[in-house]
Amino acid sequence: MGILERLNGGRWGVHPHDDHKRPAADTPLRVMPLPAKLCVPLLQHVGAPAKPVVAVGDSVLRGQLIAAAQGAVSAPVHAPSSGVVTAIGPVTAPHPSGLPFDAITITLDGEDRALEAAGVDDPLALEPAEVTRRIADAGIVGLGGATFPSAPKAQLGRKLEVQTLVINGGECEPYLSSDDSVMRHRADDVIDGVRILMHAVGARTALVGIEDNKPEAIAAMREAARAFAAIRICPVPARYPMGSDRQLVEVLTGKQVPAGARTASIGVLVNNVSTCAAIHRALRHGEALYRRIVTVNGGAVAAPGNVLAPVGVLVEDLLAFVGLKEAPARLVMGGPMMGLALPHAQVPTVKACGGVLALTAAEIARPAPSACIRCGSCVKACPMGLQPLEIAARVRAGDYDGAASLQLDDCLACGCCAYVCPSNLPLVQSFQHAKGTLWARAQQKKRNALTRELADARRERLERDARERAEAAAKRKAARAAQQASAAAPGGQEMPS
């Protein structure tokens, strides 16, 4: 950072002084041996959970569809290896709450028998719709963490005539190097995936943004992209959260994404490098997304590095493979800035899990929070230009609407504010709490609207029923009276009661 910039308070984001990416990033890629069982979650994406198409007791093969997509935004799930389905039901989710979610548990037979899979020799000759269909069938979702299913995203891009693809090789989180590893070892796959995606979307150019702290990846990708003029490799400054789509888009294209809108609204579609590699495998080799490269890192790990692991492997098994040198004080899925703390190690990984961290007490140590001194460090650090200190003050006072009026919705939960805070305030937790509370309120409002509708409908129905009954009764009475009258007229006698 130059002196002038420093006097001006610096730019957004933080520069973690030690990104802890090496030596893990430099170790050779390892393939994890098959564990005894896998728990493949049904909801690994944004949207509706997949619906199981196998039953307990069924034998499955590697690559076999075990749960189908449901609805427009969803993704199917495939078996990562061969074995027998032993349970379909709740397992602990990789989430701090420790709450369960549904998963298909497969006890592996160790033979790893694969389903016959057929790729296409020239995916670029296929109709874009066919490419998208194959991406959907392979269960590919955004692997950078957003987990939006890739096929509907590509469709959206085609519909909005997106011209530019931004390929996210930012991987700005400390400790993580799985995308780095993909770019170093599978640069050709990534570039091929980018070309297939460009074909599917109809985009003319692709900008691959890679943080400049990954020179090996940049070199490998440049080499791979040499033949394709439409694909440009763009080194970007290493600054967290460069890997956030909005920030990367601004750095690469100079345009900001309007608040509350998707990048497609400004003609840009962002995809992760690992997603592109997965698209390549899906189209060329017919391979569904059931395994990925996971960074296992952290002070408690004996042999940190990148591991090719099946989706749904238990964190416990993953850590057993790399070994622990001491008891971790915290397990995190994802990076240290945005990752989720795990309640215990018996949780499965998901498609978007780029890293598992076993952190020591020293690594997570933070002094006790003290009062906010309004120093404004968080304002400088916030990549969205928010005022975390003002929002946090309102949340603390229980003024959630006041927090929302300061655009709490735009918060990425990137953690820059909490990272730089000299008072060590738990800002992210405070914002997440406020967002959750506001969401719950909105839900309650919707619910109230629904019940009000139902109650009104019921009241109307009851009134109608009563009216109809009354009318019927009146009719009967009238009929009886008429009968009476007709009976009385000739005889002049009273009806026997």
Partner 1 sequence: MLVPVVILTLLGLMLGLMLGYAARVFAVEGNEVAAEIAAMMPGTNCGQCGLAGCGAAADALVAGAAPATVCPGGGAPLAQAIAAKLGLTLDLGGLADQGPKIAEVQEDICIGCARCLKGCPTDAIVGASKQIHGVLHQACTGCGACVTECPTGAIGLRPLPQTLQDWNWASPSFA
Partner 2 sequence: MNMLASSALPSVAASPHAGQLGSVSHVMLKVMLALAPATACGFWYFGWPAFNLWLVTVLAALAGEALCLRLMAKPVVPTLLDGSALLTGWLLAVSLPPWAPWWLGVIGGLFATVIGKQVFGGIGCNLFNPAMVARVALLVSFPVVMTGWVAPIGLTGAQAPGWLESLQLTFGGSVPDAYTSASLLGQAKTELSRGVSLLQTFANGLPVSWSGMRPGSLGETAVLLIAAGGIAMMLMGLITWHIPVSMLLAIAIPAAIGHAVNPARYLDAGAHVLSGGAMLGAFFIATDYVTSPSSRGGQLVFGAGCGLLTWVIRTYGGYPEGVAFAVLLMNALTPVIDRAIKPRVYGRNWRGQPIAPRKEN
Partner 3 sequence: MSEYLILLVSTALVNNVVMSKFLGLCPFMGVSKSMDSAFGMGLATTFVITVAVAASWVLDYFVLAPLGLQFLRILTFIVVIAATVQFIEAVIKKSMPALYQSLGIFLPLITTNCAVLGLALLTVQEGGSFLKSVVYGFGSALGFTLAMLMFAGLRERLALVRVPAALDGAPVSFILAGLLSLAFMGFAGLNFS
Residue 432 has phi, psi (to 5 degrees) of: -65, -40
Residue 35 is encoded by which pair of tokens? Answer: 């564990």
Residues 345-374 that bind partner 2 (CB under 8 A): 345, 357, 359, 363-367, 370-374
CB 186 within 8 A of CB 278: no
Residue 385 has phi, psi (to 5 degrees) of: 75, 25
Q: Is 336 in the site for partner 2 (CB under 8 A)?
A: yes
Choose from partner 3, partner 2, partner 1, none: what does 86 bind? Cβ within 5-8 Å by kind: none
CB 271 within 8 A of CB 168: yes
Residues 327-386 that bind partner 1 (CB under 8 A): 368-371
- One residue of 51, 95, 246, 262 binding partner 1 per CB under 8 A: 95
Residue 8 or 370 having the CB closest to partner 3: 370
CB 39 within 8 A of CB 348: yes
Other beta carbons less than 10 A from residue 412's beta carbon = 18
Question: What is the Cα–Cα distance from 494 to 488, expressed in whole angstroms?
Answer: 7
Q: Is 482 in the site for partner 1 (CB under 8 A)?
A: no
Choices 27-35, 70-78, 164-172, 422-430; region in contact with partner 1 by CB under 8 A: 422-430
CB 104 within 8 A of CB 42: yes
Shortest separation between residue 429's beta carbon and partner 3, angstroms: 18
Q: Is 455 in the site for partner 3 (CB under 8 A)?
A: no
CB 201 within 8 A of CB 165: yes
- One residue of 159, 226, 255, 396 binding partner 3 per CB under 8 A: 396
Choose from partner 1, partner 3, partner 2, none: what does 320 bind? Cβ within 5-8 Å by kind: partner 2
Question: What is the Cα–Cα distance from 3 to 388, expressed in whole angstroms?
Answer: 25
**Tokens 């990708």 sit at which residue?**
221
Question: What is the Cα–Cα distance from 464 to 458, expressed in whole angstroms?
Answer: 10
Q: Is 61 in the site for partner 2 (CB under 8 A)?
A: no
Q: Is 384 in the site for partner 2 (CB under 8 A)?
A: yes
- For residue 425, the SS3 value is coil
- One residue of 204, 255, 396, 464 binding partner 1 per CB under 8 A: 396
Residues 136-165 that bind partner 3 (CB under 8 A): none
Residue 26 or 250 having the CB closest to partner 2: 250
Q: Is 430 in the site for partner 1 (CB under 8 A)?
A: yes
Residues 74-113 that bind partner 2 (CB under 8 A): 96, 98
How many alpha carbons fall within 13 Å on the CB side of residue 297? 28
- For residue 319, the SS3 value is helix
Residue 76 or 415 having the CB closest to partner 2: 415
- One residue of 454, 472, 473, 482 binding partner 1 per CB under 8 A: 454
Q: Is 397 in the site for partner 3 (CB under 8 A)?
A: yes
Residue 450 or 474 having the CB closest to partner 1: 450
Q: Is 393 in the site for partner 3 (CB under 8 A)?
A: yes
Choose from partner 2, partner 3, partner 1, none: what does 27 bind? Cβ within 5-8 Å by kind: none
Chain-centre distance for alpha carbon 346: 21
Q: Angle at Cα 330 formed by Cα 144 and Cα 396, nearest 5°?
A: 80
Would you tell me which residues interact with partner 3 (CB under 8 A)? 393-394, 396-397, 399
